[in-house]
Amino acid sequence: MRQVAVVGYARSPVVRRAQSTTSGVEMLVPILRRLLDEAGLAKEDVGFWCSGSSDYLAGRAFSFVTAVDALGAYPPIMESHVEMDGAWAAHEAWVKILTGDVGIALVYAFGKSSAGDLRRVLALQLDPYTVAPLWPDAVSVAALQARLGIDSGAWSEKEMAAVAARSRASAKDNPCAQLSGDVTADELLDLPYVAEPLRAHDCAPVGDGAAAILLADAEHARRLTARPAWITGFAHRTDPQGLGVRDLTSAPSARGAAA
């Protein structure tokens, strides 16, 4: 099997509300240009382009088509899109290189979550017959899961706050992070609940941003960078979406992915 490696990466800052359209073009143009420049490549050197984004989140069909404007209209390119995120797009590009069709692929992902009510949109992934019609919001559903974990002794509110404090401290070295800084778990625990037992620090912030990676086969990878990050494989895992189908205090798919 052919070897494939990540040879470049670029991303935009993640902000609460980007001053841009939902097409993603304004966020994508700078990072795509930076990624190619750092690799010493021209657009014509990329054999395959693949994007990952959510038309469902944008609220219109084929919304990703407008993002192709960021790639340039000429010369014609080989381009594809997957409905989800950059991980799915990276998998498709990886397979494309494995087939031998191309030697270099560029993968990009983008999203403008601030354009809608993300808490309600995400909840629509739940069972369409028994749960979604009740219009729960994603944070309240997560609060149910958190409460089950606390009551079972799997974790505590203080442990949750400690994770948030540690993450924000680590984010100080990331200029693209939306939230960062020094804060103690006790300080976070003094904040009000958003949906008991969750506080704001327990919930992922709504963010707008984009990211891109450059993939290459072994021949190109060794030429483009001194330290290629070789991809040794992909695994696809998921858990049932039904709230009563599995133990909500456990995530077998996450545990399997980390193994």
Q: Is 19 left (phi over 0), alpha (psi -120 to 50) or beta?
A: beta
Whether the pTM exceeds 0.85: the reply is yes
* pLDDT beyond 80 at 233: yes
Mean pLDDT of all residues in 39-51: 95
The confidence band for 21, taking pLDDT boundaries of 50, 70 and 90, is: low
Query: How do the domains of the chain map onto residue ranges?
Result: 4-117+206-233, 118-202
Answer yes or no: are the C-beta atoms of 114 and 17 closer than 8 Å: yes
Classify strands 193-195 and 198-199 as parallel, antiparallel or unpaired.
antiparallel
20: pLDDT strictly greater than 90: no
- 4-117+206-233: which CATH topology? Peroxisomal Thiolase; Chain A, domain 1 (3.40.47)
Mean pLDDT throughout 11-23? 77
Residue 23, pLDDT score = 66
What are residue 179's DSSP bridge partners? none
Tens of pLDDT along 210-226? 999 999 999 999 999 99
Residue 47: which pLDDT band, with cuts at 50, 70 and 90? very high
What pLDDT sits at residue 49?
Answer: 96
pLDDT of residue 193: 98
Average pLDDT over residues 165-188: 94
Burial of 153 (0-12, 13-18, 19+ CB in 10 A): exposed
Q: Which is more confidently placed, 57 or 80?
A: 80
Q: What is the pLDDT of residue 33?
A: 95
Segment 171-177 mean pLDDT: 91
Q: What is the pLDDT of residue 244?
A: 84
Residues 154/147, Cβ–Cβ less than 8 Å:
no
Instruction: Tell me the average pLDDT of the chain.
Output: 90
Residue 40 has a pLDDT of 95
96-129 tens-digit pLDDT: 999 999 999 999 999 888 877 888 888 888 888 9
At 189-206, the pLDDT tens digits run: 999 999 999 999 999 998
Of the two residues 43 and 115, the one the predictor is more confident about is 43
- State the pLDDT at residue 141: 92
